[in-house]
A and B are shown apart, each in its own frame.
Chain A
Amino acid sequence: MKTVNQLEQPDQFYDELANAHKDLDLPASADLNARLVLILANQIGSQKVLSECIALALCVPESSV
């Protein structure tokens, strides 16, 4: 798993993702995120990397926001 930046255009990616959520209520946003997670997971493919990604997502505390 890589944690150093890989994104070619981080600001543009964030902007597109935020735009996708713009007119959605919370359940529709959750559905969108779930679909996106699955699509992105398939781009990664490696089970080892995916397991590490899940572990990282779980260990970042929500209160740090």
Chain B
Amino acid sequence: MIEENVSGYKLPRFEYRKPADFDKTVQRYPVVIVGGGLAGLTLAADLSTRGIAFVLLDEDDTVGVKGASSRGIVYAQKSLEIFDRLGIYEKIAQKGVAWSVGKSLVGQNDIIYEFDAAKSSQSLQPPFLNIQQFYIEWFLVERINELKTGEIRWKSRVIDVEAAQTHSRIKVETPDGTYWLEAEWLVDCCGLASGVREKLGLETFPEKGTERWCISDIRFKKELPLERWTWVESPVNDGRAVWQHPMADGVWRIDFQMKIDSDVEYISRPDVCEERVRKLLGHNEPFELVWVGPWASRTHLLDNFKYRRVLFAGDSAHVFPPLGARGGNSGIQDADNLGWKLALVLKGQAQETLLNTYSQERRPAAIHNMDLATRSVRFLSPQGEGQRILRNAVIALAKKCDFAQAMVNTGRLSTAFSYQDSDLSIGTGESIPNLALELKNGQKRKLVDYATDSQIMLISRSREVLQPLQNKAIFKILIIGQQEPDDILDVDEKIADALGIRDGSIVILRPDLHVLARFKEFGHAQINELMHRINYVEREE
């Protein structure tokens, strides 16, 4: 790996190697992932931790698009917990900026809404952490290369795809020419303009909106609070919105809302952007433009995230307005949902039908993200005089009244979606935070430590009730108690509370830490129900 200097960042360049496939008959791999962005790399790292072989194909030989563009910068708690499970959270925490306080402002510095997400957090990870997307991708690549269960093939562009009922065929173009390979499961993580989707004829009809933003990454020394500041109406931007976010390496993300339908070339011209930044920081403050680019609203949603044996994750399946940091985070959480299901199916422990629940769970999550992001757009860009009058009323009242502050919507930041309507869930399907655990033998654990293999976790305060399932390889049994060395201590019942089992229920957690079920009684009927839900394949064990 070579590191190169791009806009003051050191960025990696990974080595292309000629695949051995050229000299063989067509090879079939358990999983082929197309696209090395957040969704594709998270899935590859996830499968690596679960010991599943895969090939990831990426067009270029570095992380990030055109290097220095920071792209997705806000990582939500659920995503950070996933990274902790994958073993890269420490690196991310060292490099990035954790934060929990957000403020919405009008005028120069009039705060009309403020939140601190740390107050209600039970997780080992902070509510949010800001870091340039390419760092996350870089750490994921390093982790994948370290675990060595699959391989990343750089400079490998997919130029044709055929989807059969039992597998897919993929044609790859490399510096050495083209070759075909086959996948039992193909996962498309190619983004909005996915060539895989196009080759399969799966249209999504993207909608172009009139929203325009100028996205800029600025390096400066001026000390500003490490918080998220969003101006609903800023005097430095002709009364339009401005975003101010810290990230790694002393770089700040400053976004400027532009007039609807603005010329994207003009609004992101460096000299035009610099003038705006000067107004924001003060005319005597030195700064450096690291990256600047326009953003124009585009949205789309795929009808089904599964087609034959092809699965779609991240922007390839859904794109929403960026308010609330839902794009990258939902791609990471798509991968988190998919990894363990693929692993169970490939290990023969669950039937293929388990993978139908992927679209069943992640498509409603995408619709939810779309709805919430669209509401923020409506608040920030009132359509027509009536809506503008309404928003002015909210701003005027927010200076005095708590209830109006609650309506100031500059982007509700993404939280884990609950899989309430899934065939897998018996109940609400919510995500459990990455709890800090202490064992009877004094060892410290995190809840994610128990989720790295693809076992479904059964957690109870009673050992006896889980006895019938203790020899089934698909389950991991965790006991809250004080008898055995690896029992989880819970003196003040905080763990039982967080798991929702203070009443003596047992909780069943999926490897993505979503609740599969809670049972008060756990007899034959409940066990049969559970086996049916997880599409369990009965084998001699």
A residues engaging B (CB < 8 A)? Answer: 27, 30-31, 34-35, 37-39, 42
Contact = CB atoms under 8 A, between A and B. Distances in A.
26 contacts: A27-B389, A30-B389, A31-B389, A31-B392, A31-B393, A31-B396, A34-B389, A34-B390, A34-B392, A34-B393, A35-B393, A35-B396, A35-B397, A37-B393, A38-B390, A38-B393, A38-B394, A38-B397, A38-B403, A38-B404, A38-B407, A39-B397, A39-B401, A42-B401, A42-B403, A42-B404
A24 B97 CA distance: 49
Interface in B367-402: 389-390, 392-394, 396-397, 401
Nearest to B394: A38
B291 to A, nearest CB: 40
A27 to B, nearest CB: 8
B281 to A, nearest CB: 34
A27 B404 CA distance: 21
B297 to A, nearest CB: 26
Sorted nearest first, the 7 A-B pairs with minimum C-beta distance are A34-B393, A42-B403, A35-B393, A34-B389, A30-B389, A34-B390, A38-B393
A36 B236 CA distance: 31
Interface of B: 389-390, 392-394, 396-397, 401, 403-404, 407
B390, B392, B393, B404, most chain A CB atoms within 10 A: B393
Nearest to A32: B393
A30 B391 CA distance: 12
A31 B386 CA distance: 10
Contacts of B389: 27, 30-31, 34
Given A35-B396, A38-B390, 10 more contacts: A27-B389, A31-B389, A31-B392, A34-B393, A38-B397, A38-B403, A38-B404, A39-B401, A42-B401, A42-B404
B386 to A, nearest CB: 8
Contacts of B403: 38, 42
Contacts of B397: 35, 38-39
A38 B394 CA distance: 8
> Most B CB atoms within 10 A — which of A27, A37, A38, A42?
A38
A22 to B, nearest CB: 19
Contacts of A38: 390, 393-394, 397, 403-404, 407
B399 to A, nearest CB: 12
Contacts of A30: 389
A34 B403 CA distance: 14
Contacts of A27: 389
Contacts of A31: 389, 392-393, 396
A3 B390 CA distance: 25
A39 to B, nearest CB: 7
Contacts of B394: 38
Contacts of B404: 38, 42
Contacts of B393: 31, 34-35, 37-38
B417 to A, nearest CB: 20
Nearest to A43: B403
A34 B385 CA distance: 12
A34 B390 CA distance: 6
A52 B176 CA distance: 66
Nearest to A34: B393
A42 B398 CA distance: 13
Contacts of B401: 39, 42
Nearest to B386: A30
A32 B394 CA distance: 11
Nearest to B393: A34
A38 B391 CA distance: 10
A53 to B, nearest CB: 15
B462 to A, nearest CB: 40
In this complex, which of B390, B392, B394, B396 has the most chain A Cβ atoms within 10 angstroms of its Cβ? B390
Residue of A31, A35, A37, A39 ringed by the most chain B CB atoms within 10 A? A35
A27 B386 CA distance: 10
A10 B316 CA distance: 57
Contacts of A37: 393
A27 B389 CA distance: 9
A62 to B, nearest CB: 14
Nearest to B391: A34
A46 B320 CA distance: 29
B369 to A, nearest CB: 21
Contacts of B390: 34, 38
B394 to A, nearest CB: 7
B525 to A, nearest CB: 36
Contacts of A39: 397, 401
Nearest to A35: B393
B404 to A, nearest CB: 6
A44 to B, nearest CB: 11
Nearest to A36: B393
A31 B389 CA distance: 6
A35 B399 CA distance: 12
A39 B397 CA distance: 9
A30 B404 CA distance: 18
Contacts of A34: 389-390, 392-393
Contacts of B392: 31, 34
Nearest to B387: A34
A7 B397 CA distance: 25
A39 B390 CA distance: 12
